[in-house]
Amino acid sequence: MSSDEIPLHYEFEVWDDAKMVRNFRLNAAVKNNVKLIFRGDLYPSGMVNKIFEIIIDEEWDDTKIVEFK
């Protein structure tokens, strides 16, 4: 249980049926029990936009949203 922000790093690869179409890294820092949301386009512009979402039933003290391009 820490009240200090802890750095987080995620690396994503987006694939179509045969090849990788995007690779990117996301960074943020959050305190304990803060929901972190990365929000932005998953696919490069011009491609079909698909939505991917994971929902977890949790109670959070706060929410932090990081926009990416």
Task: Report CA-CA distances (Å) from 41 to 12, 25, 51, 63, 69.
Answer: 12, 13, 9, 20, 6
Residue 19 has pLDDT above 70, yes or no: yes
pLDDT by residue (tens digit) across 42-69?
776 666 656 555 566 778 888 888 887 7
* pTM reported for the whole predicted model: 0.61
* Whole-number Å distance between alpha carbons of 33 and 19: 36
Radius of gyration of the chain (CA): 14
Amino acid at 42: L
pLDDT by residue (tens digit) across 21-37?
888 888 999 888 888 88
Q: Identify the pLDDT of residue 3.
A: 78
Could you tell me how far CA 45 lies from the centroid of its own chain? 18
